């Protein structure tokens, strides 16, 4: 590629909110066979909101608040917003521990407590009734966190994070160009499938721990070049391993550093634009 052609390509894309850090990345976009997306903050808006509380609402939110007050996870922010809206007062937790990709644990009022996925619930009793309610909420595309206290699950908090306005359109466009689309998430299988259905994605890989994302990208590379689109700290290794790393402008610094293409407007249609620009740029030179 000539430098001039590359500059034209990257200049045009910048106007559309697609920042291309290097020409080689743009050239590789032409050979991509699979586009892999992170869920939270990439396919979804990343603004989760509490929609349902199962159990004694005050008690459940009280325990959850003591734990989530210490967490920087987007789900924690959703819980704290609900707690302040419902004017719930709560105690300070002790021995706070973040369990990455699973939730948080601490001691509240001298009792062991946790908030998080069922991956943390091993020692806690989950009734059949709770299991049923959980499945129902998850099928509605809601992330359900369990609240455990003193070896019992005292309640559930359902949290909704809706897909971005252009997510379905972007995925439809990519598929019509013959690309395979995949969603990779730490969230539960049911929730991931429900959101996957909403946006029409080809494949959903759920329950992935943060340190496993890059391995999934490597596995998908067996069938051709992969672009990975993400925003979080835990997306950085996958962004690096992918043939083309595409980061959200709203993402964490480390994600933006790891990506070769940045979507300034956080709009997934930027992926489609990058493809079109790559095609135009490199066709013209040939």
Q: How far is the CB of 240 from Mg ion (least distance, A)?
A: 16
Alpha carbons 171 and 37: distance in angstroms, whole number:
10
Alpha carbons 112 and 178: distance in angstroms, whole number:
51
- 152 phi, psi to nearest 5 deg: -125, 145
Question: What does the angle CA 88 – CA 53 – CA 108 come to, to the nearest 5 degrees?
Answer: 50
232 lies in the binding site for Mg ion (CB under 5 A): yes
252 lies in the binding site for Mg ion (CB under 5 A): no
Contact 203, 183 (CB under 8 A): yes
Q: Of 31, 38, 52, 140, which one is the catalytic site residue?
A: 38
Question: What does the angle CA 174 – CA 175 – CA 181 come to, to the nearest 5 degrees?
Answer: 85
Part of the chain binding Mg ion (CB under 5 A), chosen from 134-142, 171-179, 226-234, 258-266 = 226-234
115 Ramachandran zone, left/alpha/beta (phi>0; psi -120 to 50): beta
Q: How far is the CB of 248 from Mg ion (least distance, A)?
A: 8
List the single partner that 258 binds among Mg ion, ligand ADP, none, CB under 5 to 8 Å by kind: none
- Identify which of residues 155 and 232 has a Cβ nearer to Mg ion in the complex: 232
- Identify which of residues 102 and 279 has a Cβ nearer to ligand ADP in the complex: 102
161 lies in the binding site for Mg ion (CB under 5 A): no
38 is catalytic: yes
Residues that bind ligand ADP (CB under 6 A): 39-40, 68, 71, 73, 75-76, 101-104, 115-117, 143, 145, 185-187, 210, 232
- Identify which of residues 13 and 40 has a Cβ nearer to ligand ADP in the complex: 40
- 93 phi, psi to nearest 5 deg: -90, 160
Q: Return the active site residues.
A: 38
């Amino acid at each position: 590629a000539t430098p001039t052609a590359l500059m034209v390509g990257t200049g045009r894309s910048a106007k559309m909110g697609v920042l291309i850090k290097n020409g080689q990345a743009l050239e590789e976009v032409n050979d991509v066979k699979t586009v892999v997306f992170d869920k939270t903050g990439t396919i979804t808006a990343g603004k989760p909101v509490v929609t349902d509380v199962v159990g004694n609402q005050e008690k459940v939110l009280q325990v959850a608040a003591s734990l989530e007050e210490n967490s920087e996870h987007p789900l924690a922010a959703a819980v704290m917003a609900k707690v302040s809206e419902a004017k719930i007062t709560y105690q300070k937790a002790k021995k706070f521990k973040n369990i990455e990709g699973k939730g948080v644990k601490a001691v509240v009022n001298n009792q062991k407590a946790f908030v998080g996925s069922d991956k943390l619930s091993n020692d806690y009793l989950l009734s059949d009734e709770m299991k049923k309610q959980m499945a129902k909420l998850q099928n509605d595309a809601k992330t359900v966190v369990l609240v455990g206290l003193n070896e019992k699950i005292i309640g559930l908090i359902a949290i909704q994070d809706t897909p971005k306005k252009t997510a379905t359109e972007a995925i439809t466009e990519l598929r019509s160009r013959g690309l395979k689309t995949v969603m990779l998430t730490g969230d539960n299988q049911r929730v991931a499938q429900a959101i996957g259905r909403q946006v029409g994605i080809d494949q959903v890989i759920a329950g992935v721990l943060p340190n496993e994302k890059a391995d999934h990208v490597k596995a998908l590379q067996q069938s051709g070049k992969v672009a990975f689109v993400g925003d979080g700290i835990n997306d950085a290794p996958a962004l690096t391993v992918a043939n083309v790393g595409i980061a959200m402008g709203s993402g964490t610094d480390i994600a933006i550093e790891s990506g070769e293409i940045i979507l300034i407007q956080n709009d997934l249609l930027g992926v489609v634009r990058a493809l079109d620009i790559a095609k135009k740029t490199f066709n013209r030179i040939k």
